[in-house]
Structure formats: structure tokens, C-alpha cells
Structure 1
């Protein structure tokens, strides 16, 4: 009987660990995509500034 309780406890711990890993991976993925989106927008902003300066010199 003690073995069954022990195995159930191990199963619950494994299930909790899998859920925790799933939450960690999904939050890390969302943070990385948010950072990539922010860096892409900042790069686009820098390119627009460079284009504005270049076009103002040309004309």
C-alpha cells in the first residue's frame, strides 16, 4: 500500500514538473518574441532616421 502512495506521489511530482516546464517555455517564448518585435521596430526607426537625413541632404 505504501508503494502505491509513493508511486502516486512521484507521478504527481512529474506532472507538476511537466506543467512548470510548459509554463516556463511558453513565457520564455513570449518574452523572446516581444524582445524581437521591439528590436525590429527600433531597427526600422533607425533606418527611417537615416533615410530622412540622407534625403534631406540630397534635396
Structure 2
């Protein structure tokens, strides 16, 4: 977040609306992937789907 506020000085994150940065979701061999986990289940995947409008 510090980098984002440095690059975009007028931008301020909204605590009630958290941001998740994702990158290279197709780089499976390099360990870049999202999977369900014990704490959140499929919550992160569902949030990305909802944000994309799929």
C-alpha cells in the first residue's frame, strides 16, 4: 500500500473495502496460484469472481 500511495499520491485505501493484489495467475510452475484454504475456504476465489462480474 505504501508503494501505491507513493505512485498515486491522491489515492487512499478505504479500510472497509480491502484490496487484494493478484499477479500472474497463469504461472503455476512458479507458485503463482490461488486455492481454497482452511481459513477462508473459497472466499478469495468467490470475491475475485464477483469483482470481475463473472
TM-score (norm 2): 0.26
**Which structure's relative contact order is higher, taking Cα pairs within 8 Å and 6+ residues apart?**
2
TM-score (norm 1): 0.24
Whichever of the two has the greater Rg, that structure is: 1
**Which of the two has greater helix per residue?**
1
